Structure 1
């Protein structure tokens, strides 16, 4: 299944090596990226990047981005608190807030990558620029070496051990609403399509889910085709400036709003995901409102079709969401508790009740940490009632409740403008084994580096060790521990 992807992936990795060589020849080590935005091209580069046709402009931009000029433009206006973090090297500059492109009052901070810049040389691209429509994406190939031979699960997303994988090939088409201004309505939208192995985790039932649910694949860690396509996001936003200090109404399929981690590669501190994140909700489809009460307080309320289910699917269950986010006046602390999913229905395709909170603390400009904990459970889950075989998940002849608790901490250090060091430690208790397949407590410990070769290419080496305490939960039940060395490349286009 993977052989068909080896050639394009090899070309992509070759592009990364070529770009690194070019960067070294132009003394990139003496250059630093801007902390909150990508440097603008100088006048000569701006005049030359459209020469030679679309494909030539696209390829030339990778070379230009290895040695960008200093950015002399003023920072865009904002009516929010100053950005607490530097991005790069951190994956984002703002404290966590789901459900909006950025906290209300923060300007659009999407970088311009080679595809968008090459398109700007065309009539279509110039029309898109006039209407603030952006297009960009990335490809994420990866490699892992594991002590397990059969499966890396519950490590994610790289569950298949000792192999090269195409994790993600993503394209985004978006318009970001202007929430800095307060005198008129504005609108935005986002369409994001993901192809790759990671679709195993992002898929929602009722949205091309037959790829995963209707194609059994013996020997795979999950059923379904090894590689699939998921139209992960499709939503529209309406910004209403006159409600409190601004409200954004989102309608469509959007990312589940809590969590330190995210589905998309560039939005994460580390390459792999915590067990806590691996088994919680990924997307929801419905209506969500985000309202800024002040610079420090934001509230969110929503109605959706339950977790990872389309409203038109028979498994949909009307559910409520509610969150509040507080940021200290010093901007050094953030607290974000959420009821991520609540209803009175029994379990049906990931219909779990979830209560979660995240705390962030900034020590200084280089160091900060993020801690998340949740309680999650499902009602009347088949196989999880009384009289089951001890330690065997789903062995009861009766339905019952199954619950889990998890906590994870990230400690993040900006070594310089191009290098980020992250350390993640977590504890997870799958009380009846409903989420991971094993009724056991887990711990996992991960250290990883994010290195920016340029604004277009990131490398993420990582080392991870994990342990299960009450059952052999690794390598498909053969051992109680696992160590994995991994590397991925995020190649933006």
Structure 2
């Protein structure tokens, strides 16, 4: 019943970014001779897609675009030129066709691989749509509800993002507008930008201190699974790009707020192999604000260097600290292996809001185009947690072996460390289905990251089924265990079993 109530709400959210367009048609090209203008380059007698028929209204074109995307893709569709090795995987069914590289839309030399989603198709007959196409500006997004059944009653944490147990949740409504720089060409400087606005329950994890963070930090909810307003808004990504082709084999300079670099997993639902996230991901950095350069040295090596204001802190917030960032990615000539060591954050400063010192290594191996695995290991720590002055910071973990729940002593001075390792095995069943199996081990030595000083393991299997290009369904089953302290269900259980299902509707 709750899911039925959620569905019309989700569909109404889908239409929000185009509501004004539906009413006013965004200055449509209403009386233009379609055959003479829009179809000038179309061979005589060639059929016209209903989504591109400018005699139809906006809503009719939008509906037609969804119907067209439900048809199988043409195997003869042209492949965009690229400057480098071929894509190692297929997407779909995998969330990406490329080896991971944070901080940029695509590795230097890889063309824009975004699909044209229904909103862009429906806008194509408007003056706004024409202007966006002429300037290579894209707009699209998704809505993402989920539901879960859990053995826990109070909270699923540190499972994320589905923290509230046994309910339907509205996770993400994301609106995106962007321009991807053309890094395949080498004859001129190009530019780009990226802006994402996220609304939903998942803002609890993505929020940056100093950027609409009052929704989370200044609205205490002592009886809720997480602090803050239930649903909130986060302008998650806002940066500009400058592509300079003459530095090595091409450099992209990114300035603004961008996703943290090294994780296998990402903040956005469509970019993940599974519905839920590993514990490693739950408690590490989410976004940075600063400057990062991504330089292609050759087809095998890419170098990233940057500075930012500390993890999850805006540069203007008093919790921000000048922080160094350096990563290098190597891909074998066979395209079967990838190594991505990364110093995500290092500044030698005391803990403030989330001032992590983070060192990450990711290894990817492709057994075949249909089967690959990704393994990530990291060590993170904060310095002098007990000296934190920010009111949102705890001075003591929730649970430590040998102490009653909530009565542990303050964190000791010095390094408050945690480390972990996670492995993904990803299998393409067919062009519309993939399986992913995730196993991880995590050791929160003093409880600074999760609140409980304990070792964890988690084991997850999930499937992504592409109903159409615009709709993904993801069932998942997860079991996890805390070895040294009853860390699950707010300190009531040593283990947790969860069954989940979500849907991602692209627009």
Task: State the match for 1:449 in structure 2.
Answer: 463
Task: State the match for 1:310 in structure 2.
Answer: 314
Residue by residue over 1:190-247, the C-alpha shift from the partner in whole angstroms, topping out at 9 and shown as x without a partner, is 0000000000000000000000000111211221100000000000000000000000
* Aligned pairs (5 A) from 1:457-468: 457-468=471-482
Give the TM-score taking structure 2 as reference length. Answer: 0.88
User: Is it true that 1:58 corresponds to 2:72 in the alignment?
Assistant: no
Change in 2 beyond 3 A, CA 1:43/1:367 = farther
Task: State the match for 2:426 in structure 1.
Answer: 412
CA distance in 1, matches of 2:6, 2:465: 24
> In angstroms, what is the RMSD of aligned CA positions?
2.2
Residue by residue over 1:131-169, the C-alpha shift from the partner in whole angstroms, topping out at 9 and shown as x without a partner, is 000000000000000010110000000000000000000
Task: State the match for 2:389 in structure 1.
Answer: none
Task: State the match for 1:483 in structure 2.
Answer: 497
Residue by residue over 1:344-395, the C-alpha shift from the partner in whole angstroms, topping out at 9 and shown as x without a partner, is 110001101000010000000111000000000010001469xx98456862
Which of 426, 430, 439 is the matching residue for 2:440?
A: 426
Task: State the match for 1:111 in structure 2.
Answer: 115
Task: State the match for 1:162 in structure 2.
Answer: 166
SS in structure 1 opposite 2:384?
strand
Task: State the match for 1:21 in structure 2.
Answer: none
Which of 216, 223, 226 is the matching residue for 1:222?
A: 226
In structure 2, stretches of 5+ residues that fail to align are 16-44, 387-394
Residue by residue over 1:294-320, the C-alpha shift from the partner in whole angstroms, topping out at 9 and shown as x without a partner, is 000000000000000000000000000
Change in 2 beyond 3 A, CA 1:244/1:164 = same
Deviation of 1:85 after TM superposition, in Å, equals 0.5
CA distance in 1, matches of 2:349, 2:102: 25
CA distance in 2, matches of 1:201, 1:486: 19
SS in structure 2 opposite 1:44?
coil
Change in 2 beyond 3 A, CA 1:477/1:48 = closer
Task: State the match for 1:252 in structure 2.
Answer: 256
Deviation of 1:56 after TM superposition, in Å, equals 1.2
Task: State the match for 1:439 in structure 2.
Answer: 453
* Aligned pairs (5 A) from 1:103-252: 103-252=107-256
Instruction: Report the number of matched residues.
Output: 464
Task: State the match for 2:40 in structure 1.
Answer: none
In structure 1, stretches of 5+ residues that fail to align are 16-41
CA distance in 1, matches of 2:64, 2:479: 41
CA distance in 1, matches of 2:51, 2:347: 57
SS in structure 2 opposite 1:307?
coil
CA distance in 1, matches of 2:237, 2:13: 27
Deviation of 1:46 after TM superposition, in Å, equals 2.3
Change in 2 beyond 3 A, CA 1:242/1:454 = same
CA distance in 2, matches of 1:422, 1:185: 39
Task: State the match for 1:296 in structure 2.
Answer: 300
Task: State the match for 1:6 in structure 2.
Answer: 6
CA distance in 1, matches of 2:91, 2:108: 18
Change in 2 beyond 3 A, CA 1:74/1:471 = same
Question: Is 1:9–1:166's contact at 8 Å kept on the other side of the alignment?
Answer: no
CA distance in 2, matches of 1:366, 1:351: 39
Question: Is 2:13–2:173's contact at 8 Å kept on the other side of the alignment?
Answer: no
Task: State the match for 2:484 in structure 1.
Answer: 470
CA distance in 1, matches of 2:281, 2:497: 19
Question: Is 1:456–1:492's contact at 8 Å kept on the other side of the alignment?
Answer: yes
Task: State the match for 1:85 in structure 2.
Answer: 89
CA distance in 1, matches of 2:143, 2:50: 28
SS in structure 2 opposite 1:306?
coil
Question: Is 1:287–1:303's contact at 8 Å kept on the other side of the alignment?
Answer: yes
CA distance in 1, matches of 2:401, 2:56: 69
Question: Is 1:188–1:236's contact at 8 Å kept on the other side of the alignment?
Answer: yes
Task: State the match for 2:506 in structure 1.
Answer: 492
Question: Is 2:65–2:118's contact at 8 Å kept on the other side of the alignment?
Answer: yes
CA distance in 1, matches of 2:161, 2:46: 42
User: Is it true that 1:341 corresponds to 2:345 in the alignment?
Assistant: yes
CA distance in 2, matches of 1:43, 1:337: 51
Residue by residue over 1:277-335, the C-alpha shift from the partner in whole angstroms, topping out at 9 and shown as x without a partner, is 00000000000000010000000000000000000000000000000000000000000
Bigger mean CA deviation after superposition, 5-14 or 75-84 = 5-14
